[in-house]
A = this chain, B = another copy of it.
Amino acid sequence: LDKVASKHCDVVPVVVQDSRSGAVLICAYANEAALEATFKQRVACLWSTSRNELWVKGATSGDTLDLDDVFINCEQNSLVYKVTPRRKGACHTKDQYGNTRVSCYYRRVAPTASGSLQL
């Protein structure tokens, strides 16, 4: 198991939640630079762990998430960003009608009769 999970790293998980609906939109990572950018720009900023760079959510897609509030957990190793989506979506995928999905968590996970997992 790994260092993010064991708290010995530069990034922490960020739960991004719609302030109005309460929907969990995305879960990503932030470091100090991302959190500072979030407060300065008043939009959700994250740290892209694949590109290893600041990720201003919506900079490319337009699906900016306006910042309402930031909360930290008891152990100070994860964050919740409360946001208001500027447009309708937060996910980079589209639904069957070609609309950007509101949340990345659009798929239910359920076990099959045999006990294995089915997506």
Contact = CB atoms under 8 A, between A and B. Distances in A.
Given A22-B22, A111-B39, A104 B73 contact: yes
Interface in A21-72: 21-24, 26-27, 29, 31, 35-36, 39-40, 47, 49-50, 52, 69-72
What's the dominant secondary structure at chain A's contact region?
loop
A52 B1 contact: yes
A48 to B, nearest CB: 9
Contact of A27 (B9, B73, B91): B73
Contacts of A106: 71, 74
Nearest to A91: B74
Given A1-B10, A10-B1, A74-B93, A105 B117 contact: no
